[in-house]
Amino acid sequence: MRRLRKAVSILAGLVAVIVIAVYFIFQLPEFGGRFEGKRLERMRRSPEYIGGRFENTPPQKTDPSLLKIYRLYSQGQIRKPQFEIPVIKLDASSLEAPASKGLKAIWFGHATVLVEIQGLRIMTDPVLSNVLSPVPFIYGVKRFHPPPVTLQDLSHINAVLISHDHFDHLDMKTIQHLASQGTHFYMGLGVGAHLERWGVSLEQIHEMDWWESAEVNGVKIVCTPARHYSGRKKMDNSTLWTSWVVKGSEHSVYFSGDTGYADHFREIRKRLGDMELTLMKVGAYGETWLDIHMDPESAVQAHLDLGGKILLPVHWATFDLSYHAWDEPILRTLSSAKDKGVHVITPRVGETYEFGQPFQNVEWYKR
């Protein structure tokens, strides 16, 4: 009996230590801020805020907490490239020059794209850290390749578009670096609480509901619908997920963020017109969660729904976040695009694409 009591006492002590450790870990700034005051009041006024959280309509069928479990049943795929992904280094000094008056795009990997439009530099979901994790010294998902420019050399970014607050789309270190340079940030409702905790000035934080817009130097930035979920500490749909449209006087860009396939693509086109360049999520999907993570074939159809001219596939080839082969997204995208007559570009990481100029696709993803 004495031994049993001792064992129970030791076990209780270990549990207490674990609970305390988890509590303090959750206090780390990487997990973001709290929703309160005027911010919470505005969140509650959103049509998408239902029962104390943001909701898809109709509600999502997938339970995000099960996504990691699904991966256990996907043995056999080659989830990481077996060769070094080619990266074209970006000359940091080029960022000091005026941005293009036309339309240019440089894929940094995953969902991060540097867009130059009408003299404005915009980045989508900038994540330049090497590891995705609130506690990278303990655990995290590592990049397959470096970004084309180091975080320290990234500069002269006018605006950042944030689709949602998951760690592979919202990176504290990258945000803090850009904020120190005066970059302005556009995001869905609630996400600003995270940036505020990270020391970003309120003047640089622009929280928006779907269909709200802002204008920067003659370029219109529109917050548009998506079908996803959110949360930093847990998947509680505490902040609003979005896609984005950027429209200049001559050019237009659509950024999908993370989303399932739904009618919102056609509605965006109806309200905002055809899109010239679509930055479309094609990776990280599975048969059981397509309502919040569309597959490549759906991405191609979404591009058509938007009246897109050029499709630049994103959200693949940088992190192992799903249970398909690392190159499956691009191969399926190209196959579907060929069948439907869609023009896809496959730039290498760091390679510049200029709208209206010839671009030679290289099958760099094949070895």
For 234-284, the DSSP string reads S----S---EEEEE-SS-EEEE--S----THHHHHHHHH---SEEEEE-SS
pLDDT for the residue 152: 97
Query: Is residue 224 within 8 Å of residue 76, measured between CB atoms?
Result: no
117: which DSSP letter? Answer: E
Beta-bridge mates of residue 221:
214, 246
pLDDT for 23: 45
DSSP state of 227: -
pLDDT at position 18 = 47
What ranges in 91-158 are assigned the alpha helix state H? none
CB 142 within 8 A of CB 176: no
Superfamily covering domain 35-354: Ribonuclease Z/Hydroxyacylglutathione hydrolase-like (3.60.15.10)
Task: Give the pLDDT confidence of 177-198 residue by residue, as tens digits.
Answer: 999 999 999 999 999 999 999 9
Q: How far is CA 41 from CA 4, 122, 205, 225, 231, in A?
A: 53, 29, 17, 20, 18
Joined together, the tokens standing for residue 199 give 């020391």
Instruction: List the chain residues with pLDDT less than 70.
Output: 1-27, 64-76
132 bridge partner residues? 141
Tokens of 293: 């993570």
pTM: 0.93
Q: For position 306, what pLDDT does the model report?
A: 98
Q: 303 near 255, Cβ under 8 Å? A: no
- What six digits make up the tokens of 8? 């129970």
Question: How many Å apart are CA 241 and CA 209, to the nearest integer?
Answer: 9
Segment 149-165, tens digit of pLDDT: 999 999 999 999 999 99
Residues in the chain: 367
* pLDDT value of position 301: 98
